[in-house]
Amino acid sequence: MADLKDEKRPQFGGRFLTDASQVFQHNAWDNVSWDEAQEAEARLKVESNTKTKVSEAQQRKYEEEAARYWDEFYSQHQNRFFKDRHWLFVEFPELAADQVALMTPDSPSYDKQESSLKEHSSKVLDHLTSKTDKKLVGSENEVLPVESDTNQKEMHANAVHLQSSSQEGYPGSSSTLQIFEVGCGVGNTVLPVLRTNNNPNLYIYGCDLSSQAVEILKEQPDYDPCRCHVFACDVTDPNSVLPFPDKSLDVIVLIFVLSAINPERFQFTINRLASYLKPGGMIVFRDYGRYDLAQLRFKDGQSLGDNFYVRGDGTRVYFFTQDKLRELFTKAGLVEVQNITDRRLQVNRSRQLKMYRVWIQCKYRKPAAS
């Protein structure tokens, strides 16, 4: 197990590179600033790798068969692809809290609430690092599942099952703390929350485009159907059915998932998810930022559109800016709590390589008076 001192970092980390000659003394540096030259070089790389677009016919195939590509991904990797996600409860202490208080940054008690949540998350992290199965928890280098068209037979069966139940009797209806993860994959958020948040009133929902991922998750020993309900679903499809009513969720989790959706569906998806939040409920978000190493590594001919690419395995990825996310969430009627770019420098000391990662983390809350 890694040194716990390295695991229990403050938000966005606390190891700063002040002497460039010491860059290879550690594996990673936090909050690394880019100068104008580095930004210009990244911009040129993106211009170079977007000159040739994927044909319209191929783009339609990637869109229409998105579920198949993700099923193939999980069939190959099962639950072996992901590493520890020790930052989960540090960055999102709301997931470890006993309740999600309906506060905004302007509330007099907000700072006290945040401090309390972080203190609680530190205790949770001790529990996580001692008991987590490393194969089940993801890292920021991962590609996570996305919602799009999926196996039509399973989707239809799922929809019929959900529509047959009344809103009053939906799974988890008696719980007072309800969390929903979109793109739950094989449990990279669901399972750690189940293990660490012992609130008896907690209920977790998870959906994924890949029915293969959902089945793998259900087979995990920590999966508890009494506290959790996961299902295959395409949340970008307006005809898809979700198992809970509007204004019922406390927290919606979007971690490395929105980036895999067609950008044309971004606004609809966020609008739809916002409608399921209780007044005061929150969306927590973390995903790829513009000029992340993954974007710069794409070759010409893999571009689907502006900052949108297809990987070699057929899965897709978009790279965000803070402004783009602010526009999406605020248009959905949500209030910004956090919108931060996390720039990390990772190094390979044996090969003397520098790898610049860029992620964006956000929290947006539904107004309490909504």
Helix (H) / strand (E) element for 194: namely: helix 190-196
- Residue by residue, DSSP assigns 70-109 as HHHHHHHHTT-S----TTHHHH-GGGTSS------TTSTT
Between 3 and 360, residue with greater pLDDT: 360
- Radius of gyration of the chain from its Cα atoms, rounded to whole angstroms: 20
What is the phi-psi region of residue 333: left when phi exceeds 0, alpha when psi lies from -120 to 50, beta otherwise? left
On the question of pLDDT at 217 being above 80, the answer is yes
Question: In sequence order, what are the beta bridge partners of 360?
Answer: 287, 341
- Spatial contact of 321 and 263, defined as CB atoms under 8 Å apart: no
Distance CA 53, CA 300 (A): 8
Q: What is the pLDDT of residues 184-204, one digit of tens each?
A: 999 989 999 999 888 999 999
Q: 28 pLDDT band (50/70/90 cuts)?
A: low
Question: Mean pLDDT over residues 53-62, rounded?
Answer: 97
Distance CA 54, CA 45 (A): 17
Q: pLDDT at position 240, please?
A: 96
Question: Mean pLDDT over residues 304-330, rounded?
Answer: 97
Question: Mean pLDDT over residues 202-217, rounded?
Answer: 96
Pairing of strands 277-288, 353-365: antiparallel
- Spatial contact of 267 and 298, defined as CB atoms under 8 Å apart: no
Token pair, residue 63, equals 């869109």
Residues contacting residue 301 through CB under 8 Å, at least 6 positions apart: 52, 54
Q: pLDDT at position 62, please?
A: 97
On the question of pLDDT at 163 being above 60, the answer is no
Burial (Cβ within 10 Å: 0-12, 13-18, ≥19) of residue 314: middle
- Helix, strand, or coil (residue 341): strand
- State which amino acid sits at residue 130: S
Q: pLDDT at position 252, please?
A: 98
CA dihedral 175, 176, 180, 185 (to 10 degrees): -50
On the question of pLDDT at 316 being above 50, the answer is yes
Q: pLDDT at position 85, please?
A: 66
Whole-structure pTM value: 0.78
Distance CA 4, CA 290 (A): 31
Question: Mean pLDDT over residues 242-251, rounded?
Answer: 96
Q: 369 pLDDT band (50/70/90 cuts)?
A: confident
Burial (Cβ within 10 Å: 0-12, 13-18, ≥19) of residue 120: middle
- Spatial contact of 158 and 171, defined as CB atoms under 8 Å apart: no
Burial (Cβ within 10 Å: 0-12, 13-18, ≥19) of residue 241: middle
Between 247 and 5, residue with greater pLDDT: 247
Q: pLDDT at position 154, please?
A: 46
Between 20 and 286, residue with greater pLDDT: 286
Question: Which is nearest to 193 in space by CA: 85, 83, 337?
Answer: 85
Quote the DSSP letter at residue 195. H
Q: What is the pLDDT of residues 104-129, one digit of tens each?
A: 444 444 444 444 444 444 443 344 33
Query: Which alpha helices (DSSP H) does 276-350 contain, by range?
Result: 293-296, 322-331
Q: pLDDT at position 87, please?
A: 79
